[in-house]
Amino acid sequence: MNPTPLHARRPLLALAYSAAVLLALTACNKADDGKTVGQSIDSGIAKTEQAAKDAGNTMKEASKDAQATGSQASTTMGEKIDDVTITATVSTGLAKDPDLSAIKINVDTKDGVVTLNGPAPSAVAKDKAADIARQVKGVTSVNNQLVVTPG
């Protein structure tokens, strides 16, 4: 990954080009304004420094905006990863239990809320499945939709 992509360097390249043009125009100024060549160059340098400061401030603001957007995106992505992790952990816990491993329980997670769907061999097994889900880190609640179907 390139740390400074071309689009991020464009303002700096434009600034450098502008500074060079400004210095050239200042040095070639034929109007007699009472300034020596050195004074004209100093004035051009001061203007270029101000332009650089302005460009730097603009880039800082753009960087802050990009960081805020990136932070929001990573939060959203983190929530999605957590839901996937919760679903996988609950499914693994159910598969490890001898009373629940033989049945197909569908596990869905949305914003930390786990929903269990499918058959359960008994009311005890249904409650046990909900308990397994509740013990998983990140689970905020369990919607137990398991249907008791004695085998």
Q: Are residues 57 and 101 in the same domain?
A: no
Note down the domain range covering 108. 80-148
State whether 73 and 14 are in the same domain.
yes
Is position 14 within any domain? yes
Q: What CATH number has the domain bearing residue 95?
A: 3.30.1340
Within this chain, do residues 63 and 86 fall inside the same structural domain, yes or no?
A: no
Evaluate whether residue 131 is within a structural domain: yes
- Residues of 53-64 as b/e, b for ≥16 C-beta within 10 angstroms? eeeeeeeeeeee
129 in a structural domain: yes
User: Residue 26: what pLDDT?
Assistant: 58
Query: Number of folded domains in the chain?
Result: 2
Do 116 and 145 meet the contact criterion of CB atoms below 8 Å apart?
Answer: yes
H helices of 28-36, where?
none
This prediction's pTM: 0.49
Are 108 and 72 part of one and the same domain? no
The residue among 121, 112, 117, 119 whose CA lies nearest residue 140 is: 112
> Are the C-beta atoms of 113 and 86 separated by less than 8 Å?
no
For residues 71 and 89, state if they share a domain: no
Q: Are residues 89 and 73 both part of a single domain?
A: no
Considering the domain boundaries, does residue 1 fall inside one?
no
Task: Verify that 56 and 96 share a domain, yes or no.
Answer: no
Rounded to whole angstroms, what are the CA distances from 47 to 15, 72, 97, 112?
Answer: 12, 38, 74, 56
The answer to whether the CB of 59 falls within 8 A of the CB of 85 is: no
> Which of 31-35, 90-94, 116-120, 145-149 shows the lowest mean pLDDT across its residues?
31-35
The contacts of residue 41 (CB under 8 Å, 6+ apart) are: 23, 26, 27
User: Same domain for 46 and 57?
Assistant: yes
pLDDT in tens, 78-137: 555 588 888 999 888 888 888 887 678 899 999 999 999 999 888 999 999 999 999 999
Q: Is residue 96 domain-resident?
A: yes
In a domain, 111, yes or no: yes
Q: How many CB atoms lie within 10 A of CB 79?
A: 14
Same domain, 40 and 97: no
Evaluate if residue 30 carries a pLDDT over 80.
Answer: no
pLDDT at 83: 87
Distance, in Å, from the CA atom of 11 to the CA atom of 128, rounded to the nearest integer, reads: 61
Please write the tens of the pLDDT for every residue from 42-66. Answer: 777 777 777 777 777 777 777 777 7
Weakest mean pLDDT among 23-27, 124-128, 143-147: 23-27
